[in-house]
Amino acid sequence: MSSRRPDPLAQVSDFEIRLLKLFRSVVECGGFSAAESALGIGRSAISQQMSDLEQRLGLRLCQRGRAGFALTEEGREVYQSTLQLLAALESFRTEVNGLHRHLRGELNIGLTDNLVTIPHMRITNALARLKAQGPDVRIHIRMTPPSEVEQGVLDGRLHVGVVPQVGALSGLEYQTLYDERSLLYCAVGHPLFYVDDQLLEDERLNAQEAIAPTFRVPPEVQHHYQALNCTASASDREGMAFLILTGRYIGYLPDHYAQAWVQQGRLRALKASHRYYDINLAAVTRKGRRAHLVLESFLEALAQS
């Protein structure tokens, strides 16, 4: 007669599941000796773990000895329950993995202007991967100034944003994506357009009418604008491009954004060897955010892109 456990099994932990998998292998192999090669452990270790399982269940699962290996009545019932449990676990794993392959929901992403011309295209590539992984995902992009992107992420209107990393705000997490270089440009028609850099004195350059940004820039960038004669302002880089292309102003633009006009002969960089600054562009998410499978999949794609 078997010795039954006085109390019911309180829980099934990872340890019990591992022991049940060993038990299944022993039964399917027909005994301890035959299971050695399948499990990759010795008979004594198998025997010890079977004893642990029997002690935890409070049941005698099998007879072993000179007469050979045989399941008890309780052992046969536990074996059938083990098959059901392990099948349910595998079904759970398959279904959860299926959710990763068939994402549903929305991604609200806020972007500062003029990132589409960055050659690396990490955002574009990550969005492409997300859409391939979840054809039913609905993507909504909002183009707003960096401060509004960060505020949108903070208050939950946006799941993620991409902004120049001027200063980390409390409550937000930043993942660096790009290093962006901005050069000082003038357009065809400007008095400096055909002046050779070697003949262009800083005093003359600083006297030209220039454009200041109204969006935040890091302190180390501000001195580049303080050196200029800023008589106009713009709330974003596209606004600065509009003014520079008039041929009346000089101003800083990201080199990737200006490249098409440079190739067309409409813009030129002024003293590019030292009239430049670099800014990190970062993906920004809210700290302590709730689990959001679409967002996490996008961030994973962004990290891999």
**What would the mean pLDDT of 36-43 be, rounded to a whole number?**
86
Is a pLDDT exceeding 80 seen at residue 236?
Answer: yes
Q: What is the pLDDT of residues 84-119, one digit of tens each?
A: 888 888 777 766 766 666 678 899 999 987 788 787
Query: In which band, very low, low, confident or very high, does the pLDDT at 241 lie, cut at 50, 70 and 90?
Result: very high
**What would the mean pLDDT of 123-128 be, rounded to a whole number?**
92
A 10 A CB-CB count for 191 gives 12
Q: What is the pLDDT of residues 146-187, one digit of tens each?
A: 888 998 999 888 999 998 888 778 899 999 888 899 999 999
Instruction: Considering only residues 242 and 2, tell me which one the structure prediction assigns the higher pLDDT.
Output: 242
**Domains of the chain (ranges, CATH numbers):** 14-100 (1.10.10.10), 103-305 (3.40.190.290)
Going by C-alpha positions, the residue among 49, 71, 67 that lies closest to residue 2 is 71
